[in-house]
Amino acid sequence: MLSTLLSAIAAPPADAFAEAQRHLDGLTKPPGSLGRLEEIAARLAVLRGGTPRVERPVIFTFAADHGVVAEGVSAYPQVVTAQMVENFLRGGAAVNVLARQARARVVVADFGVANPIPGSPELVSCPMAPGTANMARGPAMTREHAVRAIETGARLAERALDAGADLLATGEMGIGNTTAASAITAAITGAAPERVTGRGTGVDDTAFARKVDVVRRALAVNAPDPGDGVDVLAGVGGFEIAGLVGVILVGAARRVPVVLDGFIAGAAALAAVTLAPDARHALFASHRSAEPGHAVILERLGLTPYLDLEMRLGEGTGAALFIHLARAAALIWSEMATFKSAGVSTSEGASVAPSEATPSDRIAPAKPALERRR
């Protein structure tokens, strides 16, 4: 399944952005006056190949545990992962509140939670194992597990799209997963562990120094190939992160927008883009996380976030907030009148149709795909 999925991912037509900008410049407003809202509208239209709609968004909140917590890298015990999954299922977490406001469905999936979760019809149970192994002492998982987790996430995304989803958003939960994301980011970008590692759940100075050392040791022990996202995931990743890679790849293959949450989802995107560089065209960075490694990820992916609220919760919370912007941008595209239809004069004094508007290069084609550094 994975090889077939990768072969279906391609960049949009080279002239699509200029055509989208012509449409936006023909609407009743000064060119570019809606700022980055126009950028979102153009990117959505190019991706979808026509009029964009954001009517049935789905947020994927994947959960799994990490063996690396044995190294003392988190301020919270591992049981919190299972407890938070229960909270998601009851609708009491931040992502549930924000998803309700955004009219989005939340898919909660157990990709490898170590502690038992009471049965619920709302839970997608697809555990790879009861958490990963301790990456500081060997591979987090086998390559087979990494591929299976990617393909499982892909199947969940396919199921959502087949049911009518028109936007896929990424979220996660897993005590210890900022350590895994730091290691993934360092492995793929070549950045130093101390540059991409943050305090996660709020560890003190001693635990933070230990966390940086754990990331450094995990990279040394596993020596993941930075050009192979599967190898990186197997060495220092997490099951929920691999699952999000599958969601990203399906969105790119089906030309549906994929909204990245923060640091953890960004690490998944890094891995996905090593496998399919053109997947980058489907990615929207919802916000800038307070985790330092997220800035490194955004720079590498060539993405500028749309919000900067100093958030670092995860779950898909930042992605849920972005849905409002995406929906607004899509409606600007489809519901605003043109100068001609509204009988409004342009700056030159004439009424013109969108096809007669002057093209703009404000919304440039996507930046070159991720370069592999070794």
Which of the residues are catalytic? 315
Task: Tell me if residue 285 falls in helix, strand or coil.
Answer: strand
Report helix angle 229-236 to 177-189, nearest 10. Answer: 140
Task: Tell me if residue 321 falls in helix, strand or coil.
Answer: helix
Residue 22: CB atoms within 10 Å: 18
CA 336/CA 313 separation, integer angstroms: 35
Per DSSP, helices labelled H in the chain are: 2-7, 16-25, 36-48, 79-90, 94-102, 143-162, 177-189, 193-196, 205-222, 229-236, 239-254, 263-275, 292-301, 317-335, 339-342
Let me know how many helices (H) and strands (E) the chain has, helices first. 15, 6
CA 319/CA 324 separation, integer angstroms: 9
CA 234/CA 222 separation, integer angstroms: 9
Beta bridge partners of 338: 27
Both structure tokens of 367:
């930046």
Task: Tell me if residue 15 falls in helix, strand or coil.
Answer: coil
Cα maximum dimension of the chain: 71
